[in-house]
Amino acid sequence: MANVTVIGAQWGDEGKGKIVDWLASRADAVVRFQGGHNAGHTLVVGDQVYKLSLLPSGIVTGTLSIIGNGVVLDPWALKAEIEKLTSQGVDINAENFAIADNCPLILPLHRDLDGLREHAAGAGKIGTTGRGIGPAYEDKVGRRAIRVCDLAHLDALDSQLDRLCAHHDALRAGFGQPPVDRAALIEELRGIAPYVLQFAQPVWKRLKKVRKAGARILFEGAQGVLLDVDHGTYPFVTSSNTVSGTAASGSGLGPNSTGFVLGIVKAYTTRVGSGPFPTELEDATGQRLGERGHEFGTVTGRKRRCGWFDAVLVRQSCAISGVTGIALTKVDVLDGFDKVKICTGYRLRGKVLDYFPSHAADQAEVEPIYEEMEGWSGTTAGARSWADLPAQAIKYIQRVQELIETPVALVSTSPEREDTILVRDPFID
> Could you give the C-alpha distances from 30 to 5, 96, 170, 233, 407, in angstroms and in order?
10, 10, 40, 28, 24
Annotated catalytic residue 294: no
223 neighbors 37 (Cβ within 8 angstroms): no
Side-chain half-sphere CA neighbours of 205 within 13 A: 7
Q: At what angle do helices 182-197 and 158-174 cross, to 10 degrees?
A: 120
Q: Are 156 and 120 in contact (CB under 8 A)?
A: no
CA–CA distance, 299 with 357 (Å, rounded to integer): 30
DSSP-assigned beta bridge partners for residue 52? 41
Task: Name the active-site residue from 37, 41, 168, 231.
Answer: 41
Among residues 5, 9, 1, the alpha carbon closest in space to that of 317 is found at 9
The DSSP result for 5-48, as a single string, is EEEESSSS-SSHHHHHHHHHTT-SEEEE-SB-TT--EEEEETTE
Instruction: Exactly one of 13, 139, 228, 419 is catalytic; name it.
Output: 13
Known catalytic membership, residue 167: no
Q: Which alpha helices (H) appear in 261-390, and where do they start and end?
A: 284-292, 311-321, 360-365
Q: Across the beta sheet with 260-266, what order do the strands follow?
A: 200-201, 97-100, 64-67, 29-32, 217-220, 4-8, 260-266, 325-329, 408-412, 420-422
Nearest C-alpha neighbor of 330 from the set 370, 383, 405, 387:
383
Are the C-beta atoms of 302 and 272 separated by less than 8 Å? yes
3-class secondary structure, 245: coil
Q: What is the DSSP string of 360-400?
A: HHHHHH-EEEEEEEE--SS--TT--SGGGS-HHHHHHHHHH
Tell me which residue of 63, 56, 176, 167 sits closest to 116, measured CA to CA: 176
State the sign of the Cα–Cα–Cα–Cα dihedral 257, 53, 57, 290: negative
DSSP string, 215-233: --EEEE--S-GGG-TTTSS
Is the CB of residue 5 less than 8 Å from the CB of residue 247? Answer: yes
Query: What positions carry a catalytic annotation?
Result: 13, 41
